[in-house]
Structure 1
Amino acid sequence: MAQLSSLNWIFLYFMFWWFLLILVCINWWMIDLKYVFPVVFFDKLGVNKWSW
């Protein structure tokens, strides 16, 4: 474990940040879904309170 080459370190580093990025994207996507679904629902009802 102590004899990790620099290439392995770079790979681990990128894997770590890639994982974080995917987590953040999934979070944003879920938050977007929570906001998008009510808007679409109200649009179908004809009650669009976002267009003044």
Structure 2
Amino acid sequence: MAVKCSTCDEEFESAAGLSQHLPLHHHTCGVCSEEFDDTESLRDHIHESH
């Protein structure tokens, strides 16, 4: 069953594919779904919170 990104509607074969897509293309944390303005902010969040 395909999993669709709610931001850009791109489809993936698994939830793991979507989890890899979100941080790279939408600056969204794959763990808690919090969104960030840039990659550096996302990286800091992951390092500090997860």
Q: Which TM bucket (shorter chain)?
A: under 0.3
Higher strand share: 2
Give the structure, 1 or 2, with the largest relative contact order (CA under 8 Å, sep 6 or more).
Answer: 2
Higher helix share: 1
Higher alpha-carbon Rg: 1
Give the TM-score taking structure 1 as reference length.
0.23
Give the TM-score taking structure 2 as reference length.
0.24
